[in-house]
C-alpha cells in the first residue's frame, strides 16, 4: 500500500473552553490533545503529517514540532469551516500519491486499530468516513447510509426531524486518496445553515462523480471531541482507564489501578509493581521488576530494573536511577544520576549530582546546589557514606570510600577514603542539667 499523509485540523478557537490557551494545547495524560491525535495517526506510519493551525498558531506549531520535528504546519487564517481547513493543505499535497487521513486535533481517543480499519475499507470505497452510534442529544452530523454504503452527511443544523432521529453520526475522520480528496474539497461551497465550507459535503460531491463512499463504525468513546472543561475531564478519565488496562496487559501490577495516573508517553516494564496513588508526569520510563511504592510523583526520569522508589518520593526531570537503587520516603531527586545500588532512604534532596555505586546517603542530606543565581554540581564517589543531615555545599566533590560526619556542612572537597567533619565540637558539662533545672524552678516559684 502506498504511504499515508495525515491532515490534522487544529485551527479552531474552542471558545467553550473559556481559556486563553488554544483548545488543542489543553492536556490529558500530561500531553496536549494535539499529541494524542498525532500519536494515534502515527500508527499508520505516515509519510507526512500536516497540522492546520489558526488560533494560537505559533504555540500550536511549536507543540506539533515538539512531538514530531518533521511535522509540516499550514495556516488557516480565517476559520471558514472544516472543508476550508482541509483545503489549506492542498499546496503541500500537490502531486502526493497514496491516501490522506483527516483527524481532528481535539479528538484524542481515536484508536490506531480504527484508523487501520478505515484504511482497509478504502479497498471498497473512494471515500471512507468514520461513524459512531449516538443516542443522546449531540448536535453531530448525521450519516445517511445503507449498510456500509454512505449516501450523504447532513449537518445537524441542516437536518430534518427525520434525519436528526438517525443515530449514526459523523466523527469527522475521513480517509481518501490524497489527490481525490483535494479535488473534492476544492468543490465545496457554503450554501448551508452555517454558511461554512463543510468537509462533510465531499460525500455527495464524490457520489455525483460516480465514486463510492463508505462508513466504518467505531465506539462512541473513541470519537469524544473536547469542547468544554467537563469533556476534558471525561477524556482524561477515559485515557487513564485505557492506560491502566494497557499497563496491566503489558505485565505491570497495579495494586489500586484507579489511583494511578499515567502520561501519554509513560513506559513501564514487565513485572514492575506500582502501588496506590502514583502519578506519572511526562517523560518517565520504568524498566522491568522495579517497585514504585505508594504516593510517588515522577516526571522526566528513568528508573532501572530492580530499583525501589517511595513511598512518598518525588523524582523530577533528569533523575536517573541505575539498577538496584533504593529511594525512600520524602526524598526529592532532580537532575541527578544514582549509580547501581545507591541508597537514599529518607528526607533528602539531591539536585545536580552524581552519586557513585553502593553509596549510602544518610537521612536529611541536602545538596545545596543553588547560590541564588547559579546551579552547581555535587559529585560523590562510589562506596561513600554520607552521614545524616549533611549539607553538601556545591560545587563539591566527595571521593570514593570517604565518609562525612552527621550534621556536617561540607564546603571543601573530601579526598578518597577520608572522613570529613564540619560542625561545632561538642562540649559536655557534668551535673549542669540538674543545677539549671533547680534554678528555673526556684525562679518560677518566686513568680
Ligand atoms: C464537525 C462535523 C460534524 C461532526 C463533528 C464531530 C463538519 C461540517 N461537521 O462538526 O459532522 O459530527 O465535527 O465532532 O465537518 N476546524 C478548523 N478550521 C475550521 C473549522 C474547524 O481547523 O475552519 C477544526 C476544529 O479546530 C476542530 C475540527 O476542525 O478540531 C472540527 O471543527 P468543529 O467546528 O468542532 O466541527 P463541528 O461543528 O463539531
Ligand atoms: Ca466539535
Q: How far is the CA of 226 from the centre of ligand 2 (A)?
A: 7
- CATH at residue 238: 2.160.10.10
In the chain, which residues have pLDDT < 50? none
Binding site membership of 50 for ligand 1 (Cβ less than 6 Å):
no
Binding site membership of 155 for ligand 1 (Cβ less than 6 Å):
yes
Q: What is the pLDDT of residue 144?
A: 98
First-to-last C-alpha distance (Å) of the chain: 97
> Which residues face 5 on adjacent strands?
48, 100
What CA–CA distance (Å, rounded) separates 96 from 90? 10
Q: Which ligand is nearest to the CA of 170?
A: 1
Q: What is the pLDDT of residue 106?
A: 96
Write the residue with the smallest CA distance to atom 32 of ligand 1: 82
Note whether residue 315 is domain-resident: yes
Note whether residue 428 is domain-resident: no
Print the SS3 string covering the chain: CCCEEEEEEECCCCHHHCCCCCHHHCEECCEEHHHHHHHHHHCCCCCEEEEEEECEHHHHHHHHHHHCCCCEEEECCCCCCHHHHHHCCHHHHCCCCCEEEEEECCCCCCCHHHHHHHHHHCCCCCEEEEEEECCCCCCCCEEEEECCEEEEEECHHHCCHHHHCCCEEEEEEEEEEHHHHHHHHHCCCCCCCCCCCCHHHHHHHHHHCCCCEEEEECCHHHHCCCCCHHHHHHHHHHHHHHHHHHHHHCCCEECCHHHCECCCCCEECCCCEECCCCEECCCCEECCCCEECCCCEECCCEECCCCEECCCEEECCCEEECCCCEEEEEEEEEEEEECCCCEEEEEEEEEEEEECCCCEECCCCEEECECCCCECCEEECCCCEECCCCEEECCEEECCCCEECCCCEECCCECCCCEECCCCCCCCCCCHHHHHHHHHHHHHHHC
Q: Are residues 199 and 248 both part of a single domain? A: no
Q: Are residues 196 and 54 both part of a single domain? A: yes
Q: What is the pLDDT of residue 306?
A: 98
- CATH at residue 101: 3.90.550.10
Name the region of 61 (left: φ>0; alpha: ψ -120 to 50; beta: rest).
alpha
Q: Are residues 165 and 32 both part of a single domain? A: yes
Binding site membership of 198 for ligand 1 (Cβ less than 6 Å):
yes
Q: Are residues 87 and 167 both part of a single domain? A: yes
Q: Are residues 16 and 115 both part of a single domain? A: yes
Q: How far is the CA of 9 from the centre of ligand 1 (A)?
A: 8
Ligand 1: nearest atom to the Cα of 170: 12
- Final residue in a domain of this structure, among 191, 223, 255: 223
List, by residue number, the catalytic residues.
346
Q: What is the pLDDT of residue 172?
A: 96
Q: Which ligand is nearest to the CA of 13?
A: 1
Note whether residue 86 is domain-resident: yes
- Final residue in a domain of this structure, among 196, 223, 250: 223
Write the residue with the smallest CA distance to atom 37 of ligand 1: 140
Q: Are residues 260 and 180 both part of a single domain? A: no
Q: How far is the CA of 171 from the centre of ligand 2 (A)?
A: 9
Ligand 1: nearest atom to the Cα of 13: 26
Number of domains in the chain: 2
Q: Are residues 215 and 261 both part of a single domain? A: no
Q: Which ligand is nearest to the CA of 138?
A: 1
Q: Are residues 114 and 237 both part of a single domain? A: no
- Final residue in a domain of this structure, among 175, 201, 223: 223
Q: 87 is in which domain, residue-wise?
A: 4-223
Q: Are residues 245 and 175 both part of a single domain? A: no
Q: Are residues 216 and 150 both part of a single domain? A: yes
Q: How far is the CA of 107 from the centre of ligand 2 (A)?
A: 9
Binding site membership of 154 for ligand 1 (Cβ less than 6 Å):
no
Q: How far is the CA of 104 from the centre of ligand 2 (A)?
A: 9
Note whether residue 436 is domain-resident: no
Q: Are residues 284 and 379 both part of a single domain? A: yes
Q: Are residues 203 and 290 both part of a single domain? A: no
Note whether residue 440 is domain-resident: no
Note whether residue 73 is domain-resident: yes
**pTM across the whole model:** 0.94
Write the residue with the smallest CA distance to atom 38 of ligand 1: 140
Q: For ligand 1, pick from 19, 104, 195, 204 the residue to mutate: most ligand atoms within 8 Å of CB.
A: 104
Overall residue count recorded for the chain in this entry: 447
What CA–CA distance (Å, rounded) separates 298 from 286? 10
Note whether residue 347 is domain-resident: yes
Note whether residue 447 is domain-resident: no
Closest alpha carbon to 297 in 271, 259, 324, 270: 259
Taking the CB of residue 430, how many other CB atoms lie within 10 A of it? 6
Amino acid at each position: 500500500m502506498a504511504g499515508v499523509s495525515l491532515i490534522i485540523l487544529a485551527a479552531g478557537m474552542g471558545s467553550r473552553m473559556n481559556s486563553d490557551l488554544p483548545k488543542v494545547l489543553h492536556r490529558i495524560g500530561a500531553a496536549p490533545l494535539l499529541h494524542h491525535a498525532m500519536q494515534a495517526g502515527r500508527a499508520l506510519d505516515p509519510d507526512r503529517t500536516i497540522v492546520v493551525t489558526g488560533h494560537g498558531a505559533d504555540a500550536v506549531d511549536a507543540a506539533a514540532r515538539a512531538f514530531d520535528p518533521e511535522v509540516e504546519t499550514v495556516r488557516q487564517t480565517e476559520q471558514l469551516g472544516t472543508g476550508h481547513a482541509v483545503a489549506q493543505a492542498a499546496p503541500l499535497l500537490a502531486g502526493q500519491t497514496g491516501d490522506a487521513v483527516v483527524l481532528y486535533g481535539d479528538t484524542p481517543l481515536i484508536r490506531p486499530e480504527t484508523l487501520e480499519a478505515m484504511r482497509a475499507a478504502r479497498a471498497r470505497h473512494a471515500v471512507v468516513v468514520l461513524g459512531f452510534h449516538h443516542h443522546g442529544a449531540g448536535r453531530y452530523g448525521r450519516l445517511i447510509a445503507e449498510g456500509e454504503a454512505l449516501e450523504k452527511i447532513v449537518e445537524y443544523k441542516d437536518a430534518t426531524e427525520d434525519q436528526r432521529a438517525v443515530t449514526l453520526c459523523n466523527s469527522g475522520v475521513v480517509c481518501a486518496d490524497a489527490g481525490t480528496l483535494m479535488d473534492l474539497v476544492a468543490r465545496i461551497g457554503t450554501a448551508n445553515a452555517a454558511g461554512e465550507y463543510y468537509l462533510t459535503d465531499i460525500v455527495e460531491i464524490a457520489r455525483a462523480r460516480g465514486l463510492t463512499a463508505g462508513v466504518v463504525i467505531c465506539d462512541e468513546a473513541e470519537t469524544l471531541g473536547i469542547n468544554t472543561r467537563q469533556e476534558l475531564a471525561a477524556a482524561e478519565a477515559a485515557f487513564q482507564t485505557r492506560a491502566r488496562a494497557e499497563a496491566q496487559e503489558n505485565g505491570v501490577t497495579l495494586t489500586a489501578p484507579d489511583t494511578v495516573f499515567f502520561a501519554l508517553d509513560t513506559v513501564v516494564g514487565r513485572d514492575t509493581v506500582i502501588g496506590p496513588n502514583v502519578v506519572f508526569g511526562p517523560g518517565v520510563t520504568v524498566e522491568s521488576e522495579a517497585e514504585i511504592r505508594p504516593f510517588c510523583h515522577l516526571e522526566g526520569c528513568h528508573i532501572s530494573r530492580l530499583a525501589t522508589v517511595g513511598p512518598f518520593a518525588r523524582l523530577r526531570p533528569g533523575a536517573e536511577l541505575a539498577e538496584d537503587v533504593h529511594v525512600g520516603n520524602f526524598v526529592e531527586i532532580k537532575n541527578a544520576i544514582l549509580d547501581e545500588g545507591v541508597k537514599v532512604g529518607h528526607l533528602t534532596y539531591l539536585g545536580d549530582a552524581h552519586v557513585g555505586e553502593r553509596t549510602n546517603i544518610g537521612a536529611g542530606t541536602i545538596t545545596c546546589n543553588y547560590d541564588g543565581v547559579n546551579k552547581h554540581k555535587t559529585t560523590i564517589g562510589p562506596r561513600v557514606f554520607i552521614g545524616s543531615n549533611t549539607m553538601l555545599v556545591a560545587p563539591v566533590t566527595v571521593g570514593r570510600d570517604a565518609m562525612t560526619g552527621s550534621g556536617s556542612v561540607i564546603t571543601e572537597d573530601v579526598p578518597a577514603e577520608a572522613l570529613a567533619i564540619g560542625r561545632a565540637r561538642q562540649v559536655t558539662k557534668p551535673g549542669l542539667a540538674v543545677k539549671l533545672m533547680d534554678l528555673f524552678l526556684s525562679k518560677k516559684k518566686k513568680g
